[in-house]
Structure 1
Amino acid sequence: MNHKLLNKLVFRGMQKNRKTLIPFLMAGTFTVMIFYILQSLAYCPYIYYKGVEAFYGAQTIAIILDISSQITAVFSVLFLFYANQFLIKGRKKEMGLYGVLGMSKKNITYIMTAETILYALISMAVGMMTGTFLNKLMLLMLYKIIGQRPVEGLFFSTKAFGNTMMLFGIIFACCLLHNVRSIRVGNPITLLQSNHTGEKEPKVKIGIFLLGVVTLAAGYYLALTAKTASEAISSLFISILLVVLATYCLFTAGSIFILKRLKKNPKFYYKTKNFISVSNLMFRMKHNAAGLASICILSTGVILLLTCGCSLMMLGEKNINRLYPTDVKIESKVTGVEQGQREITQIRSALKESGIQTSEEVYRQYKTIMLRKDGQKQTYADPDMMYTDMGSCIDTYLLSMDDYNKYVGTNEKLSEDQVLIYNSDKEWKSGEVLDFLGKKYAVAGNVDYRVTSYVLDSTMSLFESEILVFASEAQINGFLEQVGQQEDEDYNVYIGYQTNGALSKEQQELFTQNVNAVLTDVEIHFKAEERHFFYNIYGGAFFVGIFLAMLFLMATVLIIYYKQMSEGYEDQRRFQILSNVGLTEKEARKSIQTQVKLLFFLPVGAAMLHMMVASNVIRLFLRMVLVVDAKTFGMAIAAVSIIFLLVYILVYHITSRTYYKIIHTKSC
């Protein structure tokens, strides 16, 4: 057949199917743009390039961007295949007509190949052109979030360009192979009648329904019963997998079960709008279920990503103050009080030589031991077995009463069988009994916050933390000897200083050099510098989270749109038949509203339920590296959920009108 005629058919087919084609091209363009921007920023010299950091912490941001681009790549494959399914479904009748009119399968393959090449070229060209222009804007936005000065100049990444071309070239090629196969294996008459193929009333799949109930209960149980960060690690991903599986099972089998129950209720079922909606959904739920479950999972992902990002930024300063209570933080190990005092003297000299003036000095020394808990009983945790059951381990700090009195300015006394206690996961009350290494101690009170803010090691937040104050140093040495440690085990030392005014870069470098010249094995941290690093890392994570949330939100909207279009065309003939037998436009509109509201708000309702249950385990998971209080996290969930729901309602109004217009358009 003449290639000129075939090319005309290509453009005519694209114009005729623009209602489904334009959203597909938008999806392709958007995913190309997101992937290209993330890849381009990952290899940008203004962030990290060839081993050189543009600013402190830039390498970590580049790694986050690269990982996020890989997530986007996987998502793009799944999503574009999903969108392609709807696109080819509407073209089968057209291709069947070509076959009936005598066109060969070779000619049909040519048309589909030409169309796919055009789709790919439009998506990649527009996506990368838009990405190139937005790349600088996104870089400036990232710099704004992390508090960096804006940079001048543009950068075009050939590596990002090549990776984008290769990935989406493969995706569109695979879509083409799938489309050609689905058209060539069927005969023209079958393809022509594909839109009129009837479906049997679905049956309730009891096995899948029960599997959904069991996996949902198990996933919720794991999320709600997690009490520590280590438990959250072991249960988070398992609970996510269980809830995802349960969502698909319950939307597939559970929805049919509910509709069957509604059908058996005569008071509900034998009303015009309910009769039509339930009957229509009964035959469509087999295909709707997977889409609705996907919308639910994607909606949960959007809310989760934005909630975590918002809560991280809202709690930024609180976390910096926890990690670095003083402007200058020095950590080391000493063999005794005398060595600790010598270190303080040497550090004071280094401060003076560096021109740093201080207003407050903090000194804390303590010994540590890892314990394993069983209720109120605590035993020694074997280091070789510690990571096999992290949920029961306690990172314990031991102080003598004499040191404690110095730190808080008191003059309290403890008997040999009493202890002061602080525990990160439990509030002990006076009079309770603690079984510590086989001996019972009465809790005399709680440890003052002025000790906890300096003693606790933030890098050990994976474990439950505890501070114990005993009557004497001899008791502590006895405990260490009991578990096989030496009596002269080094003390951990925290030395901190509040400074008068901000420190210059030169002062920080000079102080570090002066301290390292006289002391070994010390770690020096400056709060201002660490604050900068903190906002760089978590600001970068927040930036990437916004990108991924936008991607998931776009997927959610387009899946809804495609489903409304698909269901509208499939239901068009049914409503025309009902209209011919007396269904009024008012009754049709009510029925449509009932059906569309159910299809829309069931997934988002389930998503918000998932998020509320997951909030406990997500907050614990974040506690590994951050302070995430329940109130702030709850506020973030509420704010993000309200904004998401408003966007979702807007999409509902737009797509429901589209669905209604399709229903009341006379078919040819």
Structure 2
Amino acid sequence: MTFRQFAFNNVVRNKKLYAAYFLSSMFTVMVFFTFSIFAFHPALSGSEMNQSVAQGMNISAGIIYVFSFFFILYSMSSFLQSRKKEFGLLMMQGMSMRQIRSMVFLENMIIGFFATIGGISLGLIFAKGILLLAENVLILDSELHFYLPIQAVGLTFVSFIVLFFFISLFVSYILRSKKLIDLMKGDKKSKGEPKANLFLTLTAIVLLGGGYAVALLVEGMAVLAVMLPVIIVVTIGTYLLFTQLSVYIIRRMKAKESFFWHKTNMILLSDLSFRMKDNARTFFMVAMVSTVAFSAIGTLFGFQTFLTAGTKENNPNTFTYYAYDNEEQADVALVNETLQKENIKANSEQMVLRYYEIGQDSILIAKQSDFNRFAELIGEEKVEVVAGEARVVEFDGVPYGHTKELIGQTIELKSSEELKANDVIYSKALPATDSYFIVADQHFEDLPDTTYETSYHAWQVIEGKEKVLEISEKLYEELEFKISAVEYEVYQINKAFGAIMFVGLFIGVVFFVSAGSFLYFRLYMDLDEDKQKFKSISKMGLTTKELKKVLNRQTVILFFAPIIVALIHGAVALTALSNMFYYDLFKESAIVLSVFLGIQIIYFFIVRYFYGKQVREAV
């Protein structure tokens, strides 16, 4: 057997340990390859919008590549830790440290080569489906047909072979100073039971509590001002949570004898206490990586929802038109003819928006009959204004109006009579971005001279809504900024966010899969130790049922401790985003966090099955 065959057989024999590393690396290669397919796609070299999408894909591929380097480096370091004893035995058989480094280099290159080939192959298999999905999500101007991505294949293969080469060199290099005695003892060196520092434990509570409180209490643009300090504080608090607070809680639980001696708690807590020091850093890394994934995707999803919902909220009419020149009659005729030609039925209204100098501002004042016509157009109730009074209208959905300033304000008429506004109503009838007045019809003609006025038209489609987007594009080409169509504006928002959402989703999934892989590596690093431990305990009377119970609890803690922390971090971050926009993002936050939690639960059941099976077979 040659040395290369020996290295290859090592990989094959350790396939259970290398499985998650190989699959995660292959998935990362596939994602990078997918972005490369888009970046080199002929259809994305046309319009400026498509070119920006291609550029975004290139940037995303770069982010994935950089993250892949650190992910694979961490993974290999984890494997080296679990194979110390194996290396020691090989040295006893006469293998030099140089040969061990060469073996590790070859093993990693073998895995890297097949992971790269596998990732590219999977990317090619699913390329057509991904292109179809992206075509709908990205809302591009052209069709993303399937093509043979020679450039993408070449770039992906070379990039990841180079990446695995340098990581293999680095990993083999760090083995150079290991001594035989250290390798033979491996993880048998007693690390001692970790002890928690009370001051650092309290610091963790204060930092997390303070960070959460600030993030949840501030509103508006103040959220941006406190964002960086909160991130720093919560990050430090999270590290102390796993290194200090968790250890303190475990020691307190062990100190309570009634709990510690209850059934199998002693086995669970004793083992968890000794391993917490090693797991703490992995927990911290998983929690922060998962938080980034939750927050990034939740923010993108929430911001898109905020914009689309806000657009619909502030534009209750299907079409609105403002007359900025002398072509009003021709423009309105064009809109009506287009609707009629497409067999679209719509109700319409027209009025002149008149603004008057009230105090230091120019304020819209509408007469009751005009307001009621537009209110009826969008299905709102009519209002009545008592003679001698005025009513303040706040546009429903705009929290920045000057309503308080207008309440009690006096409107002077030409006849020297004064109208006073005493109450407020909320409406979307007129397109005001600020609060305004309604007066009775008999007072309207008695108002002073206007400071500004413009003609305003609105259409509300009642039949043929499925054709609105199509004709909106035509009308925008003809009338440009003079007409507004809510469906078209929402379409443009989704089009702009499509690429960002697509990229963010892929990057978030890569981060999350990597976080799950970190947990898998941490669990399997201690597999041999767990086999020996439970085998010894079973001889003392541990039943199969109790063994299964301990394994389940241990795996649950390992998998869900960092994920629960990440979910809390993500929920706080998305709540802060809601406070910044003054918009409830609970639904969007719940969807994002639930999806990721569901993925982690599925991952947990898969790993628990194979991990538990191996331990039970050893026992």
The TM-score normalised by the length of structure 1 is 0.74
Question: Which residue in the other structure is 2:216 paired with?
Answer: 224
1:252 matched residue in structure 2 = 243
- Equivalent residues of 1:24, 1:87 under 8 A apart: no
2:423 aligned partner: 444
Partner AA of 2:206 in structure 1: V
Q: Distance in 2 between matches of 1:310 and 1:247?
A: 25
Cα 1:163/1:620, change in 2 over 3 Å: farther
Summarize deviations over 1:292-347 as a string: whole Å, max 9, x none: 23333444455556656776788897555346544444457x6xxxx7xx453353
* Structure 2 SS opposite 1:184: coil
Q: 1:163 to 1:523 in 2, by over 3 A?
A: farther
Q: Single out whichever of 498-507 and 530-539 deviates more from structure 2.
A: 498-507
**Pairs within 5 Å for 1:219-298:** 219-228=211-220, 230-236=221-227, 238-298=229-289
Partner of 1:196: 188
Note closer, same or farther for the CA distance 1:598–1:23 as it changes in structure 2 (3 Å cut).
closer
d(CA) in 2 for partners of 1:273 and 1:364? 80
Q: Give 3-state SS (helix, strand or coil) of 1:562's partner.
A: helix
- Change over 3 Å in CA distance of 1:641–1:222 after alignment to 2: same
Q: 1:125 aligns with which of 110, 117, 122?
A: 117
Q: How far apart in 2 are the matches of 1:300 and 1:477? A: 59
Counterpart of 1:400 in 2: which secondary structure?
Answer: strand
Q: 1:616 to 1:184 in 2, by over 3 A?
A: same
Q: Residues 72 and 222 (structure 1 numbering): CA distance in 2 closer, same or farther, change over 3 Å?
A: farther
- Residue 618 of structure 1 is matched in structure 2 by 577
Does 2:14 match 1:14? no
Deviation at 1:173, TM superposition (A): 3.2
Secondary structure of 1:554 counterpart: helix
Give TM-score, length-normalised by structure 2.
0.79
2: distance between equivalents of 1:494 and 1:167? 58
- Per-residue deviation at 1:107? 2.4
Structure 2: unaligned runs, 5 residues or longer? 374-382, 410-419
Whichever residue aligns with residue 175 of structure 2, its letter is I
Q: Corresponding residue for 2:328? A: 344
Q: Percent identity?
A: 22
Alpha-carbon offset, residue 561 of structure 1: 2.0
Superposed, 1:36-185 pairs within 5 Å as 36-46=33-43, 48-49=44-45, 51-52=46-47, 58-59=50-51, 61-145=53-137, 151=143, 153-157=145-149, 160-161=152-153, 163-165=155-157, 167-185=159-177
Distance in 1 (alpha carbons) for counterparts of 2:170 and 2:448: 72
Q: Distance in 2 between matches of 1:31 and 1:195?
A: 30
Q: Quick one: distance in 2 between partners of 1:477 and 1:220?
A: 53
Cα distance in 2 for residues equivalent to 1:648 and 1:152 = 32
Q: Is the 8 A contact 1:455 1:494 kept in 2?
A: no
Q: Is the 8 A contact 1:564 1:656 kept in 2?
A: no
2:495 is aligned with 1:536: yes
Does residue 467 (structure 1) correspond to residue 435 (structure 2)? The answer is yes
SS at match of 1:258: helix
Q: Note the alpha carbon deviations across 1:610-666, whole angstroms, 9 max, x for none.
A: 343333223345x49xxx6x3xx4344445555544443343333334333444555
Q: Which residue of 604, 610, 616 maps to 1:652?
A: 604
Given residue 455 of structure 1, which amino acid in structure 2 is its aligned partner? A
1:359–1:58 distance in 2 versus 1, CA, 3 Å: farther
Shift of 1:166: 5.2
What is the CA distance between 1:140 and its match in structure 2?
0.3
Question: 2:20·2:517 contact (CA, 8 Å) conserved in 1?
Answer: yes
Cα distance change of structure 1 residues 425 and 144 upon mapping to structure 2, 3 Å threshold: closer
The 1:448/1:570 distance shift into structure 2, 3 A limit, reads same
1:412 aligns with 2:385: yes
**AA paired with 1:283?**
F
Q: Is the 8 A contact 1:362 1:497 kept in 2?
A: no
Relative to structure 1, the CA distance from residue 510 to residue 200 in structure 2 (aligned partners, 3 Å threshold; closer, same or farther) is closer
In structure 2, what is the Cα distance between the partners aligned to 1:639 and 1:535?
Answer: 18
Q: Distance in 1 between matches of 2:468 and 2:553?
A: 65
Deviations 1:477-500, CA, capped at 9 Å, x for gaps: 99xxxxxxxx96x66876544468
Q: Whole-Å Cα distance in 1 between the matches of residues 123 and 52 of structure 2?
A: 22
Counterpart for residue 378 of structure 2: none
Partner Cα distance (2:256, 2:32) in 1: 50
Structure 1 vs Structure 2 CA RMSD: 4.4
| Match in the other structure for 1:519 | none
Q: How does 1:516-665 map to 2 (within 5 A)?
A: 522-620=481-579, 623=581, 630=584, 633-664=585-616
8 A contact 2:304–2:493 mirrored in 1: no
Can you give the 5+ residue segments of structure 1 that lack an aligned partner in the other structure?
A: 370-378, 381-396, 457-465, 479-486, 517-521
Matched with 1:455 is 432
The 5 Å alignment of 1:322-333 reads 322=313, 324-330=315-321
CA 1:351–1:590 in 2, change beyond 3 Å: closer, same or farther? closer
Aligned partner of 2:417 in structure 1 is none
Deviates more, 1:34-43 or 1:58-67: 58-67
Among 358, 365, 369, which residue is 1:401 paired with? Answer: 365
Letter matched to residue 52 of structure 1: S
Aligned residue for 2:329, secondary structure, equals: helix
Question: Which residue identity is paired with 2:282?
Answer: G
Query: Following the alignment from structure 1 to structure 2, what is the Cα–Cα distance between the partners of residues 238 and 166?
Result: 40
Q: Note the C-alpha offset of 1:582.
A: 4.9
1:149 Cα deviation from its structure 2 partner = 9.8
State the distance in 2 between where 1:86 and 1:135 align: 33
Q: Which residue, 3, 20, 25 being the options, matches 2:22?
A: 25
Range with greater deviation from structure 2 (497-506 or 16-25): 497-506
For residues 385-440 of structure 1, give each alpha carbon's deviation from its aligned partner in whole angstroms, at most 9, with x where no partner exists: xxxxxxxxxxxx9533346763345663798998544575769999999699xxxx
Q: 1:257 to 1:411 in 2, by over 3 A?
A: same
Greater shift after overlay, 634-643 or 171-180?
A: 634-643
Q: CA deviation at 1:200?
A: 1.5
Encode CA deviations 1:137-196: one digit per residue, 9 max, x unaligned.
111012234567994742344554455345434532342233212211112232222132
Moved more, 588-597 or 213-222: 588-597
Could you say if the C-alpha distance between residues 66 and 223 of structure 1 is closer, same or farther in structure 2, counting changes exceeding 3 Å? farther
Q: Which amino acid aligns with 1:109?
A: R
Which secondary structure does the structure 2 equivalent of 1:260 belong to?
helix
Corresponding letter in the other structure for 1:568: L
- Secondary structure of the residue that 2:363 maps to in structure 1? strand
Residues 152, 267 of structure 1: alpha-carbon distance in 2 compared, 3 angstrom cutoff: closer
User: Would the aligned equivalents of 2:223 and 2:576 in 1 still touch at CA under 8 Å?
Assistant: yes
Tell me by how many angstroms 1:220 deviates. Answer: 1.3
- SS of 2:437 mapped into structure 1: strand
Q: 1:161 to 1:243 in 2, by over 3 A?
A: farther
Using the alignment, how far apart are the partners of 2:609 and 2:58 within structure 1?
40
- Distance in 1, Cα, partners of 2:291 & 2:305: 21
Do the aligned partners of 2:21 and 2:75 also contact (CA within 8 Å) in 1?
Answer: yes
- 1 CA distance for matches of 2:334 and 2:527? 77
Rounded Cα–Cα distance in structure 1 between residues aligned with 2:333 and 2:161: 64
Q: Which amino acid aligns with 1:659?
A: Y
